[in-house]
């Protein structure tokens, strides 16, 4: 009947997808998206980001974000908020003004309070901090870290908790899915935050992978997070391939989707899985990785690919 139905039957909280406002004008797209049996959670791919919601200092616009929140509500879906603090898709004023540490701290505090507060009661989980680390496990030297050191992280999390005590607060990352310095750094950060009493509920593993190159240490890695009692989720799954696709690569992609979803199934603390849009028609991949594509479980004509079956196999095998 649908991926969310199967995921829930298997004990997960949801199978979800990212979506974006312009896509909602496509009625054939909506016909598949607006189905709770298929998708039990949605994440706005762009419309709750900093550039979309606070284009000028202390001036907020929520119209586009509200469309996604309303859609989730109307369809009985969970909403994943994305995101509060990220180095990318920042309006230029954040970096251009050379803010002092106290000024930037106030800006972050106000942003998280206002954004999370606006959606209070509507969001299952918020990606409060997005992509804070470099792949070698050092902190990304973005405007937040360069101005405030690591203190921007507790500032954001604390403001978010106060604004919506029932929303789960996540740190979301990529290349943290496997054992390695980035995952270790993130795990250490979470332990430190917990020890200091800073609110933190979850970790997101984005999972933007390449066909035939899915990491082999996902389960072991996930178990480390489960061991400290943390929930986590696969937040942005897609598995791209060099174009043109071949039947062999589509079969490998099926195996790869099975592998990734099975890793979530293997660890109960993995609460859900979201794909970073479900159709190749609206995938971010071709524009960012020229020559690559076909990363989603549905093709550009909304036909299910073998990858879809790979997901079902993984969800049903537990």
Q: Which residues are catalytic?
A: 131, 236
CA distance 195 to 131: 22
DSSP 21-86: GGGGG-HHHHHHHS-TTT-SEEEESSTTSHHHH-SBTTB---HHHHHHHHHHHHHT-EEEEEEEE-
* Nearest-approach distance from CB 227 to ligand G3I, in angstroms: 26
Give the residue with the Cβ less far from ligand G3I, 145 or 282.
282
236 sits near ligand G3I (criterion: CB under 6 A): yes
Site track 250-289 with ligand G3I (rule: CB under 6 A), x = hit: ----------------------------------x-----
* Nearest-approach distance from CB 174 to ligand G3I, in angstroms: 6
Q: Which of 4, 53, 175, 206 binds ligand G3I (CB under 6 A)?
A: 206
Measured in degrees and rounded to the nearest 5, phi and psi for residue 47 equal -80, 0
* Nearest-approach distance from CB 292 to ligand G3I, in angstroms: 13
Enumerate residues 145-184 that contact ligand G3I by CB under 6 A.
none
Give the residue with the Cβ less far from ligand G3I, 21 or 109.
21
Q: Which of 287, 284, 183 is nearest to 225 (CA)?
A: 183
CA distance 65 to 20: 9
* Nearest-approach distance from CB 282 to ligand G3I, in angstroms: 9
Q: Is the dihedral of CA 144, 172, 83, 55 positive or negative?
A: positive
Measured in degrees and rounded to the nearest 5, phi and psi for residue 118 equal -60, -35
Residues 6+ apart with CB under 8 A from 85: 50, 108, 111, 112, 128, 129, 130, 144, 152, 156
CA distance 156 to 93: 19
Give the residue with the Cβ less far from ligand G3I, 286 or 306.
286
43 sits near ligand G3I (criterion: CB under 6 A): no
Give the residue with the Cβ less far from ligand G3I, 8 or 174.
174
* Nearest-approach distance from CB 126 to ligand G3I, in angstroms: 13
What is the DSSP secondary structure assignment for residue 138, as one 8-state letter? S
46 sits near ligand G3I (criterion: CB under 6 A): yes
Residue linked to tokens 């509500």: 73
CA distance 142 to 133: 10
126 sits near ligand G3I (criterion: CB under 6 A): no
* Nearest-approach distance from CB 284 to ligand G3I, in angstroms: 4
Give the residue with the Cβ less far from ligand G3I, 105 or 128.
128
88 sits near ligand G3I (criterion: CB under 6 A): yes
Give the residue with the Cβ less far from ligand G3I, 8 or 49.
49
Which positions lie near ligand G3I, rule CB under 6 A?
45-46, 88-89, 130, 206, 236, 284
């Amino acid at each position: 009947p649908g991926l969310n139905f199967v995921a829930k039957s298997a004990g997960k909280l949801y199978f979800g997808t990212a979506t974006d406002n312009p896509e909602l004008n496509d009625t054939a797209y909506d016909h598949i998206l607006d189905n709770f049996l298929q998708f039990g959670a949605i994440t706005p791919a762009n419309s709750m980001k900093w550039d979309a919601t606070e284009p000028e200092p202390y001036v907020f616009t929520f119209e586009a974000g509200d469309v996604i929140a309303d859609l989730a509500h109307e369809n009985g879906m969970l909403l994943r908020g994305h995101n509060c603090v990220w180095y990318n898709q920042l309006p230029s004023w954040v970096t251009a003004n050379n803010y002092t540490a106290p000024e930037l701290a106030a800006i972050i505090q106000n942003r998280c309070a206002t954004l999370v507060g606006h959606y209070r009661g509507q969001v299952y989980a918020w990606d409060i901090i997005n992509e804070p680390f470099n792949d070698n496990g050092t902190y990304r030297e973005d405007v937040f870290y360069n101005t405030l050191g690591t203190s921007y992280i507790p500032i954001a999390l604390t403001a978010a908790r106060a604004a919506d005590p029932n929303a789960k607060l996540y740190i979301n990352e990529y290349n943290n899915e496997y054992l390695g310095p980035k995952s270790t750094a993130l795990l250490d950060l979470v332990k430190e935050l917990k020890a200091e009493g800073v609110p933190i509920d979850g970790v997101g593993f984005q999972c933007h992978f390449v066909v035939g190159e899915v990491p082999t240490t996902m389960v072991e890695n996930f178990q480390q997070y489960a061991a400290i009692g943390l929930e986590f989720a696969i937040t942005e799954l897609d598995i791209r391939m060099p174009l043109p696709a071949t039947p062999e690569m589509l079969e490998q992609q099926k195996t790869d989707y099975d592998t990734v979803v099975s890793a979530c199934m293997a660890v109960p603390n993995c609460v859900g899985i979201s794909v970073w849009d479900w159709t190749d028609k609206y995938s971010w991949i071709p524009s960012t990785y020229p020559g690559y594509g076909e990363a989603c479980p549905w093709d550009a004509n909304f036909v299910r690919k073998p990858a879809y079956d790979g997901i079902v196999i993984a969800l049903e095998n537990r």
